[in-house]
Structure 1
Amino acid sequence: MKKIGLVLVMFLCSFVFIFPGMGHAASNTSIYLDGKALNLPKNGEVQNVNGNVMIPIRVVVEELGFNVNWDKVTRTVTIQQSGTTMKLVVDNKMATVNDNQVKLLVAPILKGDTTLVPLRFISEQVGLTVQWNNETKSAYLITPNSGNENGSGGNDDSNNGSTNPTPPDVNVNLASIGGISFSDNKLMIATDKNVTPNIFKLTGPDRLVVDLPNAKFSDTFSNGQMLDSNMNGYIDVEGYPDVSKIRYSLFSDSPSTIRVVIDLTKSINYTLTNDNDGLIFVDLNSDSSTPSVPGGSGKKLVVIDAGHGGTDPGAISVTKKKEKDFNLAVVLKVEQLLKNEPEIDYVLTRSGDTYPTLQDRVKIANDLNADIFISIHANSGSATASGVETYYTRKESIELANVMHKYLVSSSGLTDRKVRSKSLHVTRETKMPAVLLECGYLSNPKDDAVLYTESFQNSVAAGVVKGIKEYLGVN
Structure 2
Amino acid sequence: MFNRFFRFALMALLIITGNILSGPVMAEPAIDVSSVRLGLHEDKTRFVMEMSAEPKYDVFLLADPYRIVIDLPELDWRADDSGGRQKGIVQNYRFGLFKKDTSRVVLDVGGPVTILRTVILPPSSGKPYRFFIDIQKTDEVSFQRELAERRSNLSERSIALVAPEPPAPSRKYTIVIDPGHGGIDPGAIGKSGVYEKKITLAVSKRIHKILSKNSKYNPILTRDDDTFLSLRERVTFGRQAKADLFISIHADSIGRANFRGAAVYTLSENASDDEAAELAKSENKSDLIAGVDLSVQDDTVQGILIDLAQRETMNFSVKFAEMVTPEIAKSGMKTRGRSHRFAGFRVLKAPDVPSVLVELGYLSNREDEKILKSNTGQQRLAQAIANAVDKYFETIDP
TM-score by length of 2: 0.54
The aligned counterpart of 2:257 is: 383
* Higher strand proportion (structure 1 or 2): 1
Provide the residue aligned with 1:176 in structure 2. Answer: 158
Root-mean-square deviation (CA, aligned residues, Å) is 4.5
Deviations 1:285-304 (A, max 9, x none): xxxxxxxx324322111110
For 1:44-443, list aligned pairs within 5 A: 49-51=49-51, 93-95=85-87, 102-104=91-93, 143-146=150-153, 175-179=157-161, 190=162, 279=163, 281=164, 293-298=165-170, 299-381=172-254, 382-394=256-268, 395-396=314-315, 397-417=317-337, 418-443=339-364
Identity rate, percent: 25
* Mean Cα deviation higher: 409-418 or 397-406: 409-418
The structure 2 residue matched to 1:463, chosen from 384, 390, 393, is 384
Judge conservation of contact 2:327–2:385 (CA < 8 Å) in 1: yes
- Give the CA deviation at 1:354: 1.1
Structure 1 Cα separation of the partners of residues 250 and 190 of structure 2: 13
Query: Which sections of structure 2, spanning at least 5 residues, go unmatched?
Result: 1-29, 37-45, 55-65, 69-82, 96-104, 124-128, 134-148, 269-313
Residues 404 and 50 (structure 1), Cα distance of their counterparts in 2 relative to 1, 3 Å cut: same
1:138 and 1:322, CA in 2 relative to 1: closer, same or farther beyond 3 A?
A: closer
* 1:457/1:92 CA distance change after superposition, 3 Å: closer
Separation (CA, whole Å) in 1 of partners of 2:230 and 2:329: 29
Counterparts in 2 of 1:369 and 1:144: CA distance versus 1, 3 Å: same
* Separation in 2, partners of 1:471, 1:410: 17
**Residue-by-residue CA offset, 1:244-267 (whole Å, 9 max, x unaligned):** xxxxxxxxxxxxxxxxxxxxxxxx
Q: Structure 2 CA distance, aligned partners of 1:321 and 1:437?
A: 19
Aligned to 2:285: none
Cα 1:393–1:127 change in 2 (3 A) is: farther
Residues 176 and 134 of structure 1, relative CA distance in 2, 3 Å threshold: farther
Secondary structure, aligned partner of 1:378: strand
In structure 1, the partner of 2:6 is none
Residues of 2 paired with 1:306 and 1:450: CA distance? 17
Per-residue CA deviation, residues 369-423 of structure 1 (Å, 9 max, x unaligned), is: 2111101111211101011111001542211110122212222431333100111
Name the aligned partner's letter for residue 369 of structure 1.
K
Structure showing greater Rg = 1
Secondary structure of 1:399's aligned partner: helix
Instruction: Please report how far the alpha carbon of residue 431 of structure 1 lies from its aligned counterpart in structure 2 after TM superposition.
Output: 2.7
Higher-RCO chain (CA-CA 8 Å, sequence separation at least 6): 2
Distance verdict in 2 for CA 1:50–1:341, change over 3 Å: same
Query: CA, structure 1 residues 329+126, in 2 after alignment: closer, same or farther (shift >3 Å)?
Result: same
Q: Which moved more, 1:377-386 or 1:413-422?
A: 413-422
Cα distance in 1 between the residues matched to 2:244 and 2:318: 14
Q: In structure 1, what residue type is equivalent to 2:326?
A: K
Give CA-to-partner distance per residue, 1:218-247, whole Å, 9 cap, x none.
Answer: xxxxxxxxxxxxxxxxxxxxxxxxxxxxxx
Gaps of 5+ in 1: 1-17, 25-45, 55-83, 107-118, 150-173, 180-189, 191-278, 282-292
Amino acid at match of 1:143: R
Q: Describe how 1:21-40 pairs up with structure 2 within 5 A.
A: none
SS at match of 1:407: helix
Residue-pair matches, total: 256
Letter of the 2:168 counterpart = G
CA distance in 2, matches of 1:399, 1:374: 13
Indicate if the aligned counterparts of 1:309 and 1:353 stay in contact, CA closer than 8 A: yes
TM-score (norm 1): 0.46
